[in-house]
Amino acid sequence: MHVANPIMTLGVNIDHIAVLREARKINDPDPLMALSICAQSGADQITIHLREDRRHIHDEDAHRIIASSPLPVNLECAIEPSIIDIVCALRPHRATLVPEKREEVTTEGGLDVLGKYDLISTAIKKLHQHEIEVSLFVDPTLEAIEASERLGAEWVELHTGSYANLYAMRHSALPHSHHAIEELKLSRNELTERLENAYGTIVDAANYARSLGLKVAAGHGLNYQNVASIVMIDTIEELNIGQSIIARSVFTGLASAVSDMKTLCQR
Ligand code: PXP
């Protein structure tokens, strides 16, 4: 039987430090400087996304971060063979395969695990040959999870974006993401129902994944307000959180932004 870890592990996604640097295309702030602060403040993992357009983290960043991180590095990447080859050479602890569209602001949905089955399968085999464990970033559906298990991934990361958007709309009348504007027309009762459904699908997906022997992470749009109910799901063992932590760090410093989130990860 699965025994829940009393503390959810926390991967801190530091892409947004590089976003700030890229706003000026200079060398400051350097995401490398976040590593020891995150480690000392309770983070369990560093997460970065090497996007195909290199809009924030660059190859050289990924190389330096993997070489010097005191914590395991989870490298998010697309399933394109050329990117997978780069990831194999970088040898992070884990690769999380995500869908990527150039025009998107952030990763908008989970992988099309069934539609891209063969490409994902090839990517997983290559990564495993380089001793890199694999996570698939999926929408919380039973089909995606069943396919992830068949593909031989060690982890699934459940996309919490819909839950986060609905949570923000229900509690502040503002969508977490501007992509959710059409949902604003919903009444309070409809929002409550949709939020409960979105949460229920995450619970069901996490339990199902765990029952198949997969390790379960979750992420996207999680923040200091909406994380509590996700932490309650004891079949989820890890969260990957970026934007809200880096946003808070502007006002409080990175150390307290990370340790505040880690405190919320206590079950
Ligand atoms: N997990 C995955 C797979 C992601 O793609 C992202 C966004 O890069 C995150 C977690 C973190 O999302 P956020 O920045 O909204 O916390």
Domain ranges, ordered by start, for the chain: 9-159+236-262
Q: How far apart are CA 184 and CA 66, in angstroms?
A: 41
Sign of CA dihedral 144, 145, 151, 153: positive
Percentages helix, strand, coil for the chain, rounded to the nearest 5?
50, 15, 35
Q: At residue 31, does pLDDT exceed 60?
A: yes
Q: What is the pLDDT of residues 84-136, one digit of tens each?
A: 999 999 999 999 999 987 666 766 789 999 999 999 999 999 999 999 999 99
Ligand 1, atom nearest to 217 Cα: 1
Q: Which two tokens stand for residue 61?
A: 């960043």
Residue 177: the pLDDT is 58
Pair 170, 226: CB distance under 8 Å: no
Pair 135, 92: CB distance under 8 Å: no
Cβ of 107 below 6 Å from ligand 1: yes
3-class secondary-structure state, position 17: helix
Q: What's CA 17's distance to the chain center, in Å? A: 16
Q: At residue 217, does pLDDT exceed 70?
A: yes
φ, ψ for residue 85 (rounded to 5)? -60, -40
Residue 187: the pLDDT is 84
What's the gap in Å between 119 CA and the centre of ligand 1? 22
Cβ of 219 below 6 Å from ligand 1: yes
Q: How far is CA 174 from CA 109, 165, 182, in A?
A: 20, 9, 12
Ligand 1, atom nearest to 241 Cα: 16
Q: What is the pLDDT of residues 138-171, one digit of tens each?
A: 999 999 999 999 999 999 999 999 999 999 988 8
Q: Which CATH superfamily is domain 9-159+236-262 in?
A: Aldolase class I (3.20.20.70)
